[in-house]
Amino acid sequence: MIKISASQVSVGKCYLALPLIVWDLITDTVKWPQWGPTVKRVQCPERFICKGTQGQMLTAFGIWLPFVITEYEHASFWSWNVASVKATGHRIQAAKTGGCYLWFEVPIIAAPYTLVCQMALGRIKNLLSESAESTA
């Protein structure tokens, strides 16, 4: 799914998983390399992020970049700056039919990055499926 506004492009997917399970996955810095195509490693004093969390990540290009969590609303939304540049927002919305939607919000100037976000949405789906199978 894609939404476009004057300031951003959002790509999203609906998962048959509880919103808090998806939230825990996307706020766990240890798991970022498992679903983020551009994240190879993370160094962060906290495992789970909150507003003001700072750290650095090793990108797929072999460059360490600093990040800071600039907005955070528990179980709903977080966004960050990477190398002092506004980057993606991550939004969770409960679905009326059960499960939840996960949206990646990208500044309009970085619209091509939505392709990377779509890859991440697929990886998250796979991680959630693996998790459900391991608990069954």
Other Cβ atoms less than 10 A from the Cβ of 60: the count is 12
* Start-end of H helices in the chain: 19-27, 32-35, 114-135
Tell me the C-alpha distance between 75 and 24, whole Å. Answer: 8
Q: What is the pLDDT of residues 3-29, one digit of tens each?
A: 999 999 999 999 999 999 999 999 999
> What single-letter DSSP state applies at residue 113?
G
Give 133's pLDDT tier (boundaries 50, 70, 90).
low
Q: Is the pLDDT of residue 135 over 70?
A: no
Interval 76-95 mean pLDDT: 97
Looking at residue 97, what is its pLDDT? Answer: 86
Tell me the C-alpha distance between 47 and 17, whole Å. Answer: 22
Lookup: tokens for 73: 């609303």
Tell me the C-alpha distance between 22 and 15, whole Å. Answer: 8
Q: Is the pLDDT of residue 114 over 70?
A: yes
Extents of the domains making up the chain: 2-127
Looking at residue 16, what is its pLDDT? Answer: 95
Return the CATH class of domain 2-127. Answer: alpha beta
Tell me the C-alpha distance between 68 and 71, whole Å. Answer: 9
Give 132's pLDDT tier (boundaries 50, 70, 90).
confident
